[in-house]
Amino acid sequence: MTTSLTTAMTACPLIAILRGITPDEAVPIGTTLIESGFRIIEVPLNSPQPLISIARLVETFGGDALIGAGTVMTVDDVAHVAAAGGRLIVMPHSDPQIIRAAKAHGLIVAPGVATPSEAFAALAVGADALKLFPAEMISPAAVKAMRAVLPRDARLIPVGGISAANIPAYRAAGADAFGIGSTLYAPGRAVADVRRAALALIGALKPASA
């Protein structure tokens, strides 16, 4: 049984971005994330041997979580991720060829956008969600303005500089989920430290959902 984007985001609207993770770290870090409540894990393709990490995560957690790749830059990358069992394609930019390739493989795709024009264009070619990137230059006020004009079912995911401190403001503005990078994981970070960060981030969701 596979996990849909809606199911995963409903269970936990946080996406773990494991940039720099190695295959040997993948399952131990994945285990602590799943145990903490995360249900979406992204391995950027500029990590060491990312397809091996993705395959190991899929083998171990694929029934309980949505696993895929970030920093997807080419159509060939999409095919490689699909072959590794990944089901999620995340991009720093919005390339319609990559979006179409992801959909042709039956994958979920979240291109990076920073403006309403980019957002509408990405949705028009099949984007399942919109990565608002870099969030450092897209304030909660900007998210609120974009939410007012985009389709109501458009999923908005700020990425970049997201932390427990600013999650509540973005949620109040209409963000649906959040990509979490170095706040959560950095190469070599101990599993216990990742767990503490994961629980703090999940704790930041509670005021808005109470």
Q: Which residue numbers are catalytic?
A: 42, 131
The DSSP symbol for 159 reads B
CA pair distance 6, 21, nearest whole angstrom: 26
Is residue 22 classed as helix, strand or coil in its secondary structure?
A: coil
What residues have CB less than 8 Å from 93, skipping those under 6 apart? 111, 112
Dihedral angle computed from the Cα positions of residues 134, 195, 172 and 169, in that order, rounded to the nearest 10 degrees: -60
Q: Which of 33, 106, 48, 42 is nearest to 69 (CA)?
A: 42
Residues pairing with 156 in the sheet: 130
CA pair distance 103, 2, nearest whole angstrom: 16
CA pair distance 135, 137, nearest whole angstrom: 5
Handedness of CA 71, 77, 81, 82 (dihedral sign): positive
Residues pairing with 130 in the sheet: 156
